[in-house]
């Protein structure tokens, strides 16, 4: 073992004398710190902003004057998507999704005001976050620092000498790997410290932090392995560098752009326009919930009359108009839920296609792991939309219930009467609180990505071992 550490120490000494390595390391550290500080500040700013808007919207809802309950329903409510603290590490799709959801009866709206439509095209160059630095820039640094690790020895003839002295090929490769992964660990350190701080300050649990730290550690280890492996294959350092740069460009820059293009084409996503027309068509079959005399509600009327044992809706102890509103909302919500679920299913299908390509580019697996753990991926966005919808449905149905119980049918159907209920009702509504994904679900969802990364590690290890053996044999 001491031979291995000696080789590693020697390599380290070379690294500290290498201007590229030192300068690159400093640059990466500064970038990580700037990115972490900026992303943290951004996350806090956005969070407090959205909390402030949410409070404002809650206040507006509660402070409505005496109103007809259905008017209050059309006044509606606004929800603002909260941002997970770990978005300070990997904001994922936060900038690409809307954050303002308007709730109203009879329809489900899209979340609007996403940054992507408000940011000029600069956003498309990527966002400076710790995740971006580690996913894209850190592997590049490892390529520059490590491409010559074995190739240099071969080029200068020292490899032959080492082997002749009885040092094994495995020992050389392991030593170089040790040195490079040590360098990688050092590069990862600022990000790890930032992550650790998020856990210590109680903004995030330890398990997601460990998962993120472990995932990125694995990622950089993968690259260290790949760099040392390819370095031992090429005869010249320059060829190793060009080869590694090509690998980096394909895995980190090219495939993550090309694969979504493919998924986009494989699974077509209907536009909002189309979905709305479809919903409207099906909705026409259901009847108008504003009109208790709509023949589409005849069966419902019969059932209600039977239930209460009366002949006419006027004799009901309850406002039939409110009941029709309730029934109508139930039907249209079911309709919308079905279409929106179908749209999300298609998007999930696209994402699964992309995830399938993680066998080709581990970058995709890392992204899934990172966004999934930071709770900034599509599944978490969908969770918000679905909880928002559940809240909307509950809100509207409570208002319909108030209409059914607090207003009489005679008053409510009299066009000359301005029926209203007391404003104290508005304060009885619960506020919206987003329930984040349970940790077990997050772990289950990110497990496949972790598995893919581990398999990449196993494959690269096997390749490096084979290369090391060949290196040893070349001396004989």
Partner 1 sequence: MNASAKHWIRWELLLILRSRLSVCALLLLLLLSAFAVWSGLHETARQRQTIERLALLHEQDTATVTKPNLAAYLVYYNTWDAPSDAAFLALGLRDVSPYVLRVRAMGLQGQIHEGETFNPELALPGRFDFAFVLIYLAPLFAIALLHDVISGERHAGRLRLLLSMPAARHLWWRRTALRYVLLLGCLLLPLLAGAWVEGTATTSILQIVFTAASYLAFWTGLCLLVAVRGWRSVASATALMALWTVLTLVLPTLANVAMTRLIPVNQGIELTLEQRHAVHEAWEIPREETMEKFFVNHPEWRDTPALPEGFHLKWYFAFQQVGDESVAKEAEDYRRGLLARQSWATRLGWLLPGVGAQTVLHRVADTDLPAQLAYQDSIAGYHRDIRAFYYDYLFFERSFGMEDFAKRPLFSPRTADAPAPGYAFWALLVLCWLFAVAGLAASRQGRWQ
* Residue of 14, 210, 254, 463 interacting with partner 1 (CB under 8 A): 254
436 binds partner 1 (CB under 8 A): no
106 binds partner 1 (CB under 8 A): no
Nearest to 421 by CA among 68, 18, 85, 75: 68
Pair 364, 350: CB distance under 8 Å: no
341 binds partner 1 (CB under 8 A): no
Compare residues 132 and 391 and give the one whose CB is closer to partner 1.
132
429 binds partner 1 (CB under 8 A): no
Cα 216 to Cα 130, 209, 221, 413, 471, distances in angstroms: 11, 11, 8, 64, 30
Map the footprint of partner 1 across residues 132-161, applying CB under 8 A: 132, 136-137, 140, 144, 147-148
- Minimum CB separation from partner 1 for residue 264, in Å? 6
266 binds partner 1 (CB under 8 A): no
431 binds partner 1 (CB under 8 A): no
d(CA 336, CA 367): 31
d(CA 312, CA 305): 7
* Dihedral Cα 119, 95, 139, 210, nearest 10 deg: 150
* Residue of 8, 32, 42, 329 interacting with partner 1 (CB under 8 A): 42
* Residue of 69, 82, 105, 114 interacting with partner 1 (CB under 8 A): 114
* Residue of 87, 230, 241, 304 interacting with partner 1 (CB under 8 A): 241
Tokens of 155: 């080029």
194 binds partner 1 (CB under 8 A): no
| Distance, CA of 340 to chain centre | 19
* Binding mask of the shown chain, residues 345 to 364, with x at each position contacting partner 1 by CB under 8 A: --x--xx--x----------
Compare residues 124 and 306 and give the one whose CB is closer to partner 1.
124
Tokens of 151: 């190739």
33 binds partner 1 (CB under 8 A): no
Side by side, the strands of the sheet bearing 107-112 are 77-80, 100-104, 107-112
- Minimum CB separation from partner 1 for residue 476, in Å? 30
Segment near partner 1 (CB under 8 A), from 120-128, 183-191, 222-230, 432-440?
120-128
Pure H helices in 83-168: 130-132, 138-146, 151-156, 158-164
Map the footprint of partner 1 across residues 208-237, applying CB under 8 A: 237
Transcribe 211-256 into DSSP letters: HHHHHHHHHHHHHHHHHHHHHHH-SSHHHHHHHHHHHHIIIIIIHH
Helix axes of 169-200 and 19-62: crossing angle, nearest 10 degrees: 30
271 binds partner 1 (CB under 8 A): yes
* Residue of 26, 51, 164, 242 interacting with partner 1 (CB under 8 A): 242
Pair 467, 229: CB distance under 8 Å: yes
Compare residues 265 and 306 and give the one whose CB is closer to partner 1.
265
Nearest to 25 by CA among 144, 136, 132: 144
249 binds partner 1 (CB under 8 A): yes
Compare residues 131 and 304 and give the one whose CB is closer to partner 1.
131
Report helix, strand or coil for 103.
strand
d(CA 240, CA 264): 35
Map the footprint of partner 1 across residues 370-389, applying CB under 8 A: 371, 377-378, 381
Tokens of 412: 């409510």
285 binds partner 1 (CB under 8 A): no
Compare residues 163 and 241 and give the one whose CB is closer to partner 1.
241
Using CB under 8 A as the binding criterion, the count of chain residues that bind partner 1 stands at 92
Compare residues 148 and 464 and give the one whose CB is closer to partner 1.
148
Tokens of 165: 């002295």
55 binds partner 1 (CB under 8 A): no
Containing 111, the helix (H) or strand (E) segment is: strand 107-112
113 binds partner 1 (CB under 8 A): yes
* Residue of 3, 10, 12, 71 interacting with partner 1 (CB under 8 A): 71
d(CA 172, CA 176): 6
Report helix, strand or coil for 88.
helix
CA-only gyration radius of the chain, Å: 30
441 binds partner 1 (CB under 8 A): no
Total length of the chain: 476
Compare residues 300 and 381 and give the one whose CB is closer to partner 1.
381
Compare residues 74 and 444 and give the one whose CB is closer to partner 1.
74
258 binds partner 1 (CB under 8 A): yes
- Minimum CB separation from partner 1 for residue 165, in Å? 27
54 binds partner 1 (CB under 8 A): no
């Amino acid at each position: 073992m001491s031979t291995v550490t000696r080789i590693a120490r020697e390599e380290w000494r070379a690294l500290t004398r290498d201007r590229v390595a030192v300068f690159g390391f400093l640059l990466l550290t500064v970038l990580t710190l700037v990115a972490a500080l900026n992303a943290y500040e951004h996350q806090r700013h956005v969070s407090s902003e959205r909390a402030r808007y949410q409070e404002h919207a809650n206040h507006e809802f509660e402070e409505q004057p005496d109103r007809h309950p259905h008017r209050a329903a059309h006044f509606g409510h606004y929800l603002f998507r909260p941002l997970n603290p770990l978005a300070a590490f990997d904001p994922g799709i936060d900038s690409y999704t809307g954050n303002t959801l308007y709730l109203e009866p009879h329809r489900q709206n899209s979340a609007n005001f996403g940054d992507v439509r408000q940011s000029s095209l600069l956003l498309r160059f990527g966002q400076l976050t710790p995740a971006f630095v580690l996913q894209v820039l850190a592997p590049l640094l490892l390529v520059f620092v490590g491409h010559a690790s074995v190739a240099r020895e071969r080029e200068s003839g020292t490899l032959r000498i080492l082997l002749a002295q009885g040092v094994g090929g495995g020992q050389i490769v392991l030593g170089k790997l040790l040195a490079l992964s040590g360098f990688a660990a050092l590069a990862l350190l600022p990000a790890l410290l930032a992550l650790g701080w998020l856990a210590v300050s109680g903004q995030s649990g330890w398990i997601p932090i460990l998962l993120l730290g472990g995932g990125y550690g694995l990622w950089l280890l993968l690259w260290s392995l790949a760099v040392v492996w390819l370095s031992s294959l090429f005869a010249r350092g320059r060829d190793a560098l060009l080869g590694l740069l090509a690998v980096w460009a394909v895995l980190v820059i090219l495939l993550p752009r090309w694969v979504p293009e493919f998924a986009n084409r494989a699974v077509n996503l209907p536009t909002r326009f189309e979905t709305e027309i479809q919903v409207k068509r099906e909705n026409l079959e259901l009847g108008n919930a504003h009109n208790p005399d709509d023949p589409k509600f005849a069966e419902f009327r019969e059932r209600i009359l039977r239930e209460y044992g009366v002949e006419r809706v006027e004799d009901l102890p309850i406002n039939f108009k409110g009941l029709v509103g309730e029934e109508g909302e139930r039907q249209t919500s079911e309709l919308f839920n079905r279409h929106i679920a179908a749209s999300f299913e298609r998007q999930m299908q696209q994402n699964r296609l992309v995830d399938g390509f993680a066998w080709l580019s581990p970058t995709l697996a890392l992204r899934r792991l990172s966004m999934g753990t930071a709770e900034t991926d599509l599944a978490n966005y969908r969770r918000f939309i679905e909880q928002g919808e559940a809240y909307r449905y509950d809100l509207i149905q409570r208002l319909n219930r108030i209409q059914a119980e607090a207003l009489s049918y005679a008053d409510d159907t009299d066009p000359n009467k301005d029926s209203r209920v007391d404003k104290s009702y508005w304060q009885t509504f619960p506020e919206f609180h987003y329930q984040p994904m349970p940790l077990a679900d997050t772990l289950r969802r990110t497990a496949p990505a972790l598995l893919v990364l581990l398999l990449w590690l196993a494959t690269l290890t096997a390749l490096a071992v084979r290369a090391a053996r060949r290196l040893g044999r070349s001396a004989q």
